[in-house]
Every structure is written in structure tokens, then in C-alpha cells.
A and B are shown apart, each in its own frame.
Chain A
Amino acid sequence: MKARNFALILFGAVLMLIMGSGQAPIRTAQAAAVQAAMPGIEYWRTGYTVEGALMGSSLPGRVIDPVASFRSYRGVSDIYYYLAAPAGVTWVKAAHIYLLDRTGTFSGTANLTLEIRTMGGSLHQQVSIGSIDIQILPTGSWHALALDKEIDHQQIDPGELLAFHVSFQPEPAGDLTVHSIFDVMVSPYLHIFVPLITH
């Protein structure tokens, strides 16, 4: 009787082992399917420079290019480099800036922030913590912007745009010109899920 019980328990355990191992390829395939289907991460590197306030109706016809120009002598205190306007909720995961060159001078402050703005141009959230002084930021290397950890501050809603904003204070003057490029990592997911696939 004891031997029969032992055999039954053993048989059950073995059956579970077989079923468990049979799931392995299914789990792997599911994980792969999730990863392949997930829109995941996007990188935004192109936009357009707007000198002064943005009006939604002034978007058409603007040239999208990979280089932003911030000039202190254009008669406006605020210059923006606008990136794409997503149709769905999108979260900013990382942002980098690279100054290609800097010429001329400006006696005031020229600070850059990353912001979420409405189509009408008004500020909704500031994504970056503090600001970057583009008059002293080293040229010729990528720099990561410190992002606000508050979820609301990373969230771009439909009808909003992401913008790098340089403010020349107290007023536009001098002959400073800064050419910069950007790389922003965004995702339609608040938390980026990368399935764990075991070998």
C-alpha cells in the first residue's frame, strides 16, 4: 500500500514537471510576442525653431530640421524648439542636449528648460528641473537634462507639445548664437516593461 502511494505521488510530481516544462516555450513565445508588439520607446530628434510665442495656426509650413538655433538678437526674449505633438498620452523618459557651436556674446542670462506647452503656446508643465545656462554649457558633448520625477511633469497629453525653451533675460541683445541638437526618449507607457526571457 505504501509503495502504491509512493508511486502515485511520484507520478503526480512527474506529471507536474512535464506540464511545467511544456509551458517553457509558450512563455518564451508570449514574452517575445509582447516585446515585438509593444510600440515601446521612441526617440525624438527633430523639430522646428519658433522665435516668440507659438500660435497653433502658425505650425503649417514650418521646416522640420534636426538643428535648433537660439539667437539673442532677434527682438524676442523667448525662443522655442518644438518637437512632435503626439496623438496619445506620452511620457518623457530622458532628454539630452548637444551644443554644436556657440558664437558671439550676451550680457544677460540665457537659460534653457524643457517644457510641455499647449497648442496655443502656454506653459503646462516644466519637465526639466531648473534650467541650463547655454552660455556656459560645454560644446561638443551630449549632456543629460535632469528631469522632474513627478509623473505629471513628464506627461504630454493630446493637444500638447514638447518644447526646449531658451529665455534671454532681461531682454534680447548682443550677438549670441547657439546651435544645438536634442535627443528625447519618450514612451506611451508610464513604466517601460521589458519581459524577462530566461535562457
Chain B
Amino acid sequence: MKKMRILVLSLAIVGIALFLSISLVNQARAVKPALPLSPANGESWRTGVTVVNDPIYSLLDGRSLADNAIFRSAQAADYYYIFPAAANSKTIQSAQFYVLNRGGSYAGNVELTLKVYNFSGSLLRTVTSSPVNLKTAVLNAWINIPLSASPGNLVVNPGEFLAFNVYLDLGLGGSLDIRLLFEVQVD
């Protein structure tokens, strides 16, 4: 009788232990996605080169990298802030901009978009879901740019590069002067 009691007690302990161990393993699985995992090849891109009119990569020769971009509506209607190209495929995780300063005026719209080009300057993909209006963007704050819902639009392949495009829809004119910072997270 005593042996039977010990056996029943043992089985009960086994049952409780199995239940606890399964729930702990499940907890571990549930916790993992919330941990700040940093991919080994993740990068933050914050410096680029500004060119006007055509985003041809060889035009970057001799132009200095900068951590800020200046767009003047009197100078050109199409500006590009180009990030150095990578040899391996990159996927854009997020993109932000910061308006340091905005002065003067421009009659038309001033649109900011993030795009992928080939080295000849042909547009391949638009990364942002819709253009951001730089005339009304909040000053002195980092602003997250909504990205395309299509994962294929977030990829930068070898032989391609990423650039912010500022487009003035009424052509050059006016006296608008905007100074921006950018940050793009890629994996």
C-alpha cells in the first residue's frame, strides 16, 4: 500500500514537472521575438552626396560626403541625396528625416521620396509608400517615413543605390531653402 502511494506521488510529480517544463519552453519562445536582436550585417546609413538633376553615380566622383543635405528651390527642381552603394543586397528596415532649417518660399509642392536607382540613374523602385511634403514637415524632430507595403520595393541589389529625391513640381523658382538630415536602417 505504501509502495503504491509512493508510485502515485511520483507520477503526480512527473506530471507537474512536465507541465512546468513545457510552459517554460513556451515562455522562452514567446520572449525571443521581443529581444533586441541586432542582425550581424545591420547598418545605419547617415552620410551621402547631393547631386542635382540626374542621379548618375559616376557624378559622385570628387564630391564630398556630408551628413546633411541642402535643397534650394532657386537652384534646381530635382535633387538627390545618394548613399554609397553596397556590394551585397540590402533590405531597408526604416527611414527617417529631420528638418534642420526651412526658410524662404516656393509656390508649388516640394516632395521627398526614397528611391532605388541603377548606376546610370534609371529609377527602379520607390521605397516610400507616398511622398512627404517638405513644406509642411515638422521642424527639429526626426520623422519616420512610411515605407512601401511591398517587400520587393525595400530591396537594394548589387549594382543599385539608394537615394532621397526632392522634387519641386513647378520647376525651379522661388527662394525656399531646406536643410535636412537622414537616417536609413538596412539589413
Residues of A within 8 A of B (CB): 3-4, 6-7, 10-11, 14-15, 17-18, 20-22, 24-25, 28-29, 32, 35-36, 38, 40-41, 43, 45-46, 63-67, 69, 96, 98, 100-101, 140-142, 144, 179, 181, 183, 192, 194, 197, 199
Nearest Cβ on chain B to A19's Cβ, whole angstroms: 9
Q: Among B17, B28, B37, B119, which residue has its beta carbon within 8 angstroms of that of A35? A: B37
Residues of B within 8 A of A (CB): 3, 6-7, 9-10, 13-14, 17-18, 20-21, 24-25, 27-29, 31-32, 35-38, 40-41, 43, 47, 49, 57-58, 60-65, 84-88, 119, 158-159
Q: Among A7, A41, A67, A141, which residue has its beta carbon within 8 angstroms of that of B57? A: A67
In the complex the two chains form, what is the Cα distance from A3 to B17 in whole Å?
Answer: 19
Contacts of A32 in B (CB 8 A): 32, 35-37
Using CB atoms, name the residue of chain A closest to B24: A21
In the complex the two chains form, what is the Cα distance from A59 to B32 in whole Å?
Answer: 46
Contacts of B41 in A (CB 8 A): 41
Nearest Cβ on chain A to B92's Cβ, whole angstroms: 15
Q: A11-B13, A40-B40, A192-B40 are in contact. Are A29 and B35 (CB under 8 A)?
A: yes
Q: Are A67 and B17 in contact (CB under 8 A)?
A: no
Q: A6-B10, A100-B57 are in contact. Are A181 and B24 (CB under 8 A)?
A: no
Q: Are B31 and A28 in contact (CB under 8 A)?
A: yes
